[in-house]
């Protein structure tokens, strides 16, 4: 097998994995969203013009870009994604769904992600984060979201979704994929802040807020 053929094969594989696959995935997400009956449970206060940190569990990530887009129709948001190749796919899917990306995570590129997130918030851009991502343990809250909220004095809201029918992956995060033609309840919590709390107290508060609707599954 010639070197040119190997290079061409590598380029095709890269194109399929990082260009074609994200495009197909975002179509699937849109179809699932379109074919489900949707009920929205949002804060009493209009937060369209408020700067926010948006938290969601890694396993509940799939439908949240469209939840956010309905919640803040004119909002601008960037999600912190892993620098791993799977993170790149997630970032491209999110791009299609109107959500930008920030490279980095608690396991790799954490400082870079934190700096980028601080800059985004100071520019009036919301930042989304999965406190238990990218590798878990499931339903754990890493320090990053607390540091980000306290350094920028930005309130947090929790996004979640509860489908009536879904597939659950055998991954560490028990990733949820809603089935078509059911019903999905979308939630956005009331905003809360952790500015004056100690680290562990802040993490416990965030965890309790995030588990409120998770427990209904």
Q: Does the pLDDT at position 88 exceed 60?
A: yes
Q: At which residue do the structure tokens 């306290």 appear?
A: 150
Show me where the domains of the chain are located: 3-214
Mean pLDDT of all residues belonging to the chain: 90
State phi, psi for 8 to the nearest 5 degrees: -65, -40
Q: For 111-126, b where at least 16 C-beta lie within 10 A, e where not — what string?
A: eebbebbbebbeeebb
Count other Cβ atoms within 10 Å, centred on residue 145.
24
Dist. CA 27–CA 93, nearest whole Å: 9
CATH 3.40.1130 fits 3-214, yes or no: yes
Q: What is the pLDDT of residues 53-87, one digit of tens each?
A: 999 999 999 999 999 999 999 999 999 887 667 77
Q: What is the pLDDT of residues 119-165, one digit of tens each?
A: 999 999 999 999 998 888 999 999 999 999 999 999 999 999 999 99
Total count of residues recorded for the chain = 217
């Amino acid at each position: 097998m010639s070197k040119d053929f190997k290079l061409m094969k590598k380029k095709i594989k890269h194109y399929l994995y990082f260009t074609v696959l994200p495009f197909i995935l975002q179509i699937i997400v849109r179809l699932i969203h379109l074919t489900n009956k949707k009920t929205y449970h949002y804060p009493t206060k209009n937060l369209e013009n408020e700067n926010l940190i948006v938290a969601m569990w890694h396993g509940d990530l799939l439908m949240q870009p469209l939840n956010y887009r309905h919640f803040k129709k004119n909002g601008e948001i960037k999600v912190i994604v892993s620098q791993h190749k799977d993170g790149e796919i997630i970032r491209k899917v999110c791009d299609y769904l109107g959500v930008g990306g920030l490279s980095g995570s608690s396991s790799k590129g954490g400082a870079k992600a934190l700096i980028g997130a601080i800059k985004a918030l100071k520019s009036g851009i919301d930042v989304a984060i999965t406190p238990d991502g990218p590798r878990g343990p499931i339903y754990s809250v890493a320090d990053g979201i607390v540091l980000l909220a306290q350094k920028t004095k930005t309130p947090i809201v929790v996004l979640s979704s509860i489908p009536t029918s879904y597939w659950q992956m055998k991954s560490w995060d028990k990733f949820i994929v809603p089935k078509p033609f059911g019903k999905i309840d979308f939630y956005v919590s009331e905003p809360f802040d952790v500015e004056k709390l100690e680290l562990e107290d802040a993490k416990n508060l965030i965890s309790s807020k995030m588990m409120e609707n998770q427990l209904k599954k």
